[in-house]
Amino acid sequence: MKRIIIALIINLLCISVNAQQPPATLLGNWIETQSNEWQYGFFEKFAVFNCAFWEYASVQQKGKTTKIVLQKDGQTVSLSVDQKNDSVLVIKNGKSPRQDFVLMRKRYPDYKTPDNTPFPAPTFRPDSATIIGYYRNFDKFSELPPNAPAWVKDRYFNTVFKMAVSDFISGEQQDYQTTIDSLGRFSLTFPVVNSQETYADWGRLTRQLVFSPGDTLFVFVDITDLIPLGNMDSRNDFYLRDKQILFMGDNARLNNELMQYKSTPGSFDPSETVKKGIVDMDFLKACTGDYENRKNNLENYISTHPHVSGKFRFYKRNWEIYQLAFNLLQYKFYLPASYMRRFSDEYMDYVEKNIPKFNPGVYTLVREYESFIRDYIDYYSGNKTVNYNIGMFLEETGLNTPENIRLADENVSQLASNPLIVEAQEAYARRTFMDMDYHKADSLLQEPVLKELWTTHLYLEDFEQKRMPWQDKDIQVMKTRISNPFLLDKLLTVNNYYAELDSREIEYGESLKNTAYLVNEPNADTIFSKLIDPYKGKVIFADFWGTWCGPCIKNIKTYSHLFEEKFKGKDVIFMYLAHRSPEYAWKNFIKQQQLTGEQIVHYRLPEQQQTLLEQKLNVRNFPTYFIIDRAGNVTDYKVRLHYPVDFENTVKELERVLDIEE
């Protein structure tokens, strides 16, 4: 009897049945030694396997062997785990053979076998990819060292995970986001077209990740590795130090390799180079010198890590090439106007001979490729002008009466303001500019797929600027230029949207103010007074913007309704003054954003009067913002609603001015 009791006690000491978590010695991420794949992560409250989170159904430990049953959505996985030492496990999954695993430390081990699998051939069809992740220690902010500054909590422990995905076709970057749960877990599915570079959780994870259509990629991050402690300004201490960031699933090998590669620290700043007086061929020399250093660093890495994948080599080599290409053609924007922003023949000869223009594998893979192609075509396009006379539009508009024909020859100004003539002129200019852009791209881009992609980009850019549908005859031309069903459907969908928007009435039309009465006003002070006099006694937030201005549009989309909600029912007027914005684009953007209401007013001044007002207020950039007090005086406060974003302080300033009685 004593022997039975002793045996039971020993068994109780050696076996833990239905434990809530595995032994502490198993916690961590485990990498299979033959394939180098991260396959298992064991943590206190869940396990990671096959790109998913699994619950512990049971954990039974006997000596150095632990039996673990995982469950998820009705599925179960049975594991037998033998622990050789603190960093080596042998795991048997069901009936599969036993496999050896090593514990992941701060640096992912090099892959032992080559992999020359190429990226999938581009199909240019809409698809999606999914990222699933675990930020370990996300729930343990209290354990961080006391010297961590306050901004660390705001940046690294906010509960939103973001992915930024560049769209080669539209030229825009789209942001997608999801919520991180209390344990640091998240999942996000987002659209992709072909294999492409994305930007993961910029400001926190700050990684470029590559996805192909249909990918599911799991990312593990120890959040404490991301926090810059000690010397906060040291790039070596923060960006280049080893971190426990690793990937599981599709394209995991490529992203693990990208994580381990340490590029040469950037020392080349185009703006600083130009400030030093380095221009043209000297700039080219500085730029290419930086590229050679980075390329040599990459090639040295590849030679000393011979098993890095073919995808890694293809992506990184092209990334470096098009980073160089981007810098070379963006250089003109750093030059003073006196240089006319033109390069020497020798400069452009280098670009023509050394930068591949037709590279199908990188159309969506490398973000800078799209920027380079855009700048390359723009450089050779030059200034576009349209010549026409009003007589061209008389028949088209049904205004070809003898009297109007005579006026077209003798007194053009009388016809010029006719709304039908104005509309016909604008449609003609739009069509002509599109033809110029198309034919210029057609002459520079010989590869058919790239031509169609770029032509689609031109149309989408036009939609974004004009915010109007094309006429039926122009749609027929579009169809001759675009044969790819996905691209054509994308354009027709946008065209139908703007056709519907164009027919929609503006809600609260009183917000749009008539400015025709100012067309002959020559005095800027008078113009300013007439604009603000109706709102004396109220605080005015003035926004100088334009339908063509990307930052203006972005800020209106981001902040306008936040401001309105914050000051709803208070003595604040939001005054929008549109600079050189066609009437239809102006009205349709207002409709899109539902940017009307009792506290909102819109002005589209005649061009001369808009210029006078901007000169008076020293408006040199767009967007520009002013706060005008109850007495009609422009305050000294400098509104900053672009980088760095300062929404909260602007709100505080508006509240302060609002509290001051006239």
Whether 289 and 369 map to the same domain: the answer is yes
pLDDT band, very low/low/confident/very high, at 167 (cuts 50, 70, 90)? confident
Answer whether residue 154 shows pLDDT above 80. no
Better-scored residue on pLDDT, 5 or 471: 471
CA distance 325 to 375: 10
| pLDDT tens digits for range 222-243 | 998 888 765 545 555 666 677 8
On whether residue 170 sits in a domain, the answer given is yes
Whether 583 and 643 map to the same domain: the answer is yes
Tokens of 554: 């972005």
The answer for residues whose C-beta is within 8 angstroms of residue 129's C-beta and 6 or more apart is: 189, 190, 192, 211, 212, 213, 214, 215, 216, 217
Burial 198-220 (b: 16+ CB within 10 A, else e): bbbbeebbebbbbbbbebbbbbb
Burial of 531 from C-beta contacts in 10 A (0-12 / 13-18 / 19+): buried
Whether residue 185 contacts residue 223, with contact meaning beta carbons closer than 8 Å, is answered with no
Mean pLDDT of 472-477: 95
| pLDDT tens digits for range 477-510 | 999 999 999 899 999 999 999 999 989 999 999 9
Picking from 50-54, 91-95, 147-151, 595-599, which range would have the lowest pLDDT averaged per residue? 147-151
Q: How many domains does the chain have?
A: 4
Answer whether residue 8 shows pLDDT above 50. no
| DSSP 8-state code for residue 662 | -
Query: Nearest 5 degrees, angle CA 322-CA 328-CA 332?
Result: 140
Chain centroid, CA 133 distance in Å: 20
On whether residue 540 sits in a domain, the answer given is yes
CA distance 306 to 111: 9
| pLDDT tens digits for range 280-320 | 888 899 999 999 999 999 999 999 999 999 999 999 999 99
Picking from 51-60, 93-102, 280-289, which range would have the lowest pLDDT averaged per residue? 280-289
- Residue 14 is part of which domain span? 2-103
On whether residue 110 sits in a domain, the answer given is no
Query: Any idea what the CATH number is for the domain that residue 82 is in?
Result: 2.40.128
Whether residue 436 contacts residue 466, with contact meaning beta carbons closer than 8 Å, is answered with no
What CA–CA distances, in Å, run from 246 to 129, 260, 455? 18, 9, 39
Whether 77 and 190 map to the same domain: the answer is no
Helical ranges in 97-188 per DSSP H: 150-156
Whether 165 and 199 map to the same domain: the answer is yes
The backbone torsions φ and ψ at residue 514, rounded to the nearest 5 degrees and listed phi first, read -75, 130
Residue with tokens 């000690």: 230
CA distance 283 to 270: 8
Tokens of 473: 């005859």
pLDDT band, very low/low/confident/very high, at 122 (cuts 50, 70, 90)? confident
Better-scored residue on pLDDT, 155 or 369: 369
| DSSP for 188-219, written as a single string | EEEEESSSEEEEESTTTT-EEEEE-TT-EEEE
pLDDT band, very low/low/confident/very high, at 22 (cuts 50, 70, 90)? very high
Whether residue 369 contacts residue 450, with contact meaning beta carbons closer than 8 Å, is answered with no
Whether 138 and 50 map to the same domain: the answer is no
Give the percent of the chain with pLDDT over 90: 63
Answer whether residue 130 shows pLDDT above 80. yes
- Among 274, 296, 297, 300, CA closest to 286: 274
User: Given 260, 293, 318, which residue is the final one in a domain?
Assistant: 260
The backbone torsions φ and ψ at residue 562, rounded to the nearest 5 degrees and listed phi first, read -65, -45
Mean pLDDT of 148-169: 83
Give the percent of the chain with pLDDT over 70: 87
Whether residue 180 contacts residue 160, with contact meaning beta carbons closer than 8 Å, is answered with yes
Do strands 160-166 and 127-136 pair parallel, antiparallel, or not at all (unpaired)?
Answer: unpaired
pLDDT at 226: 85
On whether residue 77 sits in a domain, the answer given is yes
Whether 253 and 163 map to the same domain: the answer is yes
3-state secondary structure 414-446: HHHCCHHHHHHHHHHHHHHHHHHHHHHHHHHCC
Amino acid, single-letter form, for residue 414: Q
Strand stretches in 494-586, DSSP E: 539-545, 572-578
Answer whether residue 211 shows pLDDT above 70. yes
Tokens of 620: 């040199």
Burial 500-520 (b: 16+ CB within 10 A, else e): ebeeeebeeeebbeebeebee
Burial 434-467 (b: 16+ CB within 10 A, else e): beebbebbeebbeeeebbbbbbbbbbbbbbbbbb
- Among 207, 228, 225, CA closest to 152: 228
| pLDDT tens digits for range 567-615 | 999 999 999 999 999 888 999 999 999 999 999 999 999 989 999 999 9
Mean pLDDT of 85-113: 94
Whether residue 9 contacts residue 80, with contact meaning beta carbons closer than 8 Å, is answered with no
Whether 206 and 152 map to the same domain: the answer is yes
Whether 77 and 143 map to the same domain: the answer is no
CA distance 541 to 572: 7
Whether 149 and 95 map to the same domain: the answer is no
- Which helix (H) or strand (E) segment holds residue 175: the answer is strand 173-179
CA distance 66 to 573: 68
**How large is the angle between the packed helices 448-466 and 472-481, nearest 10 degrees?**
150
The edge-to-edge listing of strands for the beta sheet with 207-211 is 173-179, 160-166, 196-200, 207-211
Query: Nearest 5 degrees, angle CA 221-CA 224-CA 228?
Result: 115
- Among 336, 327, 206, CA closest to 268: 327
Better-scored residue on pLDDT, 334 or 133: 133
Please state, rounded to an integer, the average pLDDT across all residues of the chain.
88
User: Given 318, 351, 381, which residue is the final one in a domain?
Assistant: 381
- Among 266, 355, 364, CA closest to 315: 364
The backbone torsions φ and ψ at residue 406, rounded to the nearest 5 degrees and listed phi first, read -65, -45
Answer whether residue 17 shows pLDDT above 60. no
Whether 234 and 349 map to the same domain: the answer is no
CA dihedral of 538, 544, 549, 551, whole degrees rounded to 10: -60
Better-scored residue on pLDDT, 541 or 390: 541
* Residue 295 CB neighbour total at 10 angstroms: 17
Answer whether residue 446 shows pLDDT above 60. yes
Answer whether residue 141 shows pLDDT above 90. no
Tokens of 435: 């033809």
CA distance 342 to 323: 20
Whether residue 513 contacts residue 532, with contact meaning beta carbons closer than 8 Å, is answered with no
Whether residue 197 contacts residue 254, with contact meaning beta carbons closer than 8 Å, is answered with no
On whether residue 388 sits in a domain, the answer given is no
End-to-end CA distance of the chain: give it in Å, rounded: 98
Whether 152 and 223 map to the same domain: the answer is yes
pLDDT at 255: 97
| DSSP 8-state code for residue 112 | S
On whether residue 390 sits in a domain, the answer given is no
Query: Any idea what the CATH number is for the domain that residue 640 is in?
Result: 3.40.30.10
On whether residue 433 sits in a domain, the answer given is no
pLDDT at 567: 96
pLDDT band, very low/low/confident/very high, at 333 (cuts 50, 70, 90)? confident
User: Given 260, 295, 328, which residue is the final one in a domain?
Assistant: 260
CA atoms within 13 A on the CB side of 479: 10
Rg of the Cα trace of the chain?
A: 31
User: Rounded to 5, what percent of the chain is helix, strand, coil?
Assistant: 45, 20, 35
Whether 47 and 77 map to the same domain: the answer is yes
pLDDT at 11: 46
| pLDDT tens digits for range 353-410 | 999 998 888 988 999 999 999 999 988 887 777 776 776 666 666 666 666 666 665 5
pLDDT at 15: 43
**How many helices (H) does the chain have, and how many strands (E)?**
22, 20
Winning range, highest mean pLDDT, from 36-40, 275-279, 410-414, 483-487: 36-40
Do strands 173-179 and 160-166 pair parallel, antiparallel, or not at all (unpaired)?
Answer: antiparallel
In this prediction the pTM is 0.83
On whether residue 168 sits in a domain, the answer given is yes
pLDDT band, very low/low/confident/very high, at 146 (cuts 50, 70, 90)? low
